[in-house]
Amino acid sequence: MSPLERRKLLTGLAFSSPWLIGLSVFLLYPLLAALYYSLCDYSVLLPPVFVGLDNYVELFQDRLFWKSLWNTTFFALGSVGLGTFMALTLAILLNSKVKGLTFYRTAFFLPSLMPLVAGSLLWFCMYSGQGGIINTLLGKIGITGPAWLSDPNWAKVAVIFMAVWGAGHSMVIFLAGLQDVPISLYEASIIDGASWFQRLRHVTIPMISPVIYFNVVMGIIGGFQAFAQALLMFGPTTAGPPEQSTLFYVLQLYNVGFMDLRMGYASAMAWVLFLIILGLTFLATRLSKRWVSYDR
């Protein structure tokens, strides 16, 4: 390597060093440390003791691991599925040329700006079984609404609805994608006699499929890390009431690591979650080759 090349290399490394240092200190080290601790009996206050795969073996036999995984999967699938559908529907509606469009766009985007704590309190009041606005409105059309937050069959659904309410960010991304679809394609399909639904099915969806793919992957990653919603809506207990129906995976991880001082076990949980998210993202990427179109 010539002195000039070495100098260039050093300059390059110096400029990228903030990112490299950040990645190593705040991502790589915690990741590897957690991997090591997951193989240890580590109570935080005492030095870790190596126990091999014991934590993983215990994890797969733990009722609460499976319970929290099921709760989280239900929430992630529900919030990603419903959230994507709602965000896409709203984006398509907001992409049309109607009067007061700016107002509607702002109105639908606003909930996603609401801080999680304030939003949770608002939904807490709306979900009230007696006198809450949701059940009052349901009552007007002759439906007896459930006790959203006290009934174990409805508590998770209630959290999903709250998550969908904040789908404004996805909606804006979809809207940007929709506005990027060439008009010529719509014109060609109209000339060919395509109906509105056919245009949606064969032009719009394929053209914005990369955006859908992006939102779904980000939604899955976020959904599997659900934590604050359950704590805010059902706290101060972290037991995931009612009947552990809102005991999400990260909440259980928090319980085990910070409340029960079993950081080794919590690290094993964190690694399993990491692998699950990695696997799902990989799966989505593989599937994307079949349905995501990058043609322009």
Partner 1 sequence: MRLASALCALALLGSACSDRQSESNRGVRHVVYWEKWTDFEGEAMARVVDSFNAKERQHAKSQPGYRPIEVELVTISNIDQKLLIACAGGNPPDLAGVYSYMIPGYADKGALSELTERAKLVGIDRSQYVGRYYDLATHRGKLWGLPTTPASAALHWNKRLFREAGLDPETPPETLEQLDEMAEKLTKWEVTLPSGEKQIEIGYLPAVPASQKRLLQVGFLPMEPSWWTYGWGFVFGGKLLDGDQITTASPENVQAYTWLASYSKKLGVDSVHRFQSGFGSFASAQNPFLSGQLAMEIQGVWMYNFIKKFADGMLWGAAPFPAPAAHPERRGTAIADTDALVIPTGSGHPEEAWLFIQYTQRQDVMEELCLGQRKHSPLAKVSEAFYAQHPHPYIRLFREMGASANAWSAPSTGVWGEYRRELQTAADQISNLTLTPTQALGQVQNRLQISYDRDQAIFVRRQR
Q: Point out which residues bind partner 1 (CB under 8 A).
A: 41, 43-46, 49, 63, 127-132, 144, 146-152, 237-244, 255, 258-261
Q: Which is nearer to partner 1, 127 or 161 (CB)?
A: 127
Q: Which is nearer to partner 1, 86 or 239 (CB)?
A: 239
The number of angstroms, rounded, from the C-alpha of 175 to the middle of its chain's C-alpha atoms is 19
The number of angstroms, rounded, from the C-alpha of 81 to the middle of its chain's C-alpha atoms is 11
Q: Which is nearer to partner 1, 149 or 178 (CB)?
A: 149
Minimum distance of partner 1 from residue 41's CB (angstroms): 7
**Main-chain dihedrals φ then ψ at residue 193, nearest 5 degrees:** 90, 20
Which DSSP state fits 98?
-
Do 149 and 246 form a contact (C-beta atoms < 8 A)?
no
Q: Which is nearer to partner 1, 108 or 154 (CB)?
A: 154
Minimum distance of partner 1 from residue 184's CB (angstroms): 54
Minimum distance of partner 1 from residue 191's CB (angstroms): 56
What span, in angstroms and rounded, lies between the C-alpha atoms of 212 and 176? 12
Q: Which is nearer to partner 1, 112 or 128 (CB)?
A: 128
Minimum distance of partner 1 from residue 60's CB (angstroms): 15
Q: Which is nearer to partner 1, 14 or 188 (CB)?
A: 14
The number of angstroms, rounded, from the C-alpha of 182 to the middle of its chain's C-alpha atoms is 30
Which tokens is 103 given? 């107002």
Coil/strand/helix, residue 241: coil
What's the burial of 95, exposed, middle or buried (CB within 10 Å: 0-12/13-18/19+)? middle
Minimum distance of partner 1 from residue 64's CB (angstroms): 8
What's the burial of 149, exposed, middle or buried (CB within 10 Å: 0-12/13-18/19+)? buried
What span, in angstroms and rounded, lies between the C-alpha atoms of 233 and 285? 34
Minimum distance of partner 1 from residue 121's CB (angstroms): 9
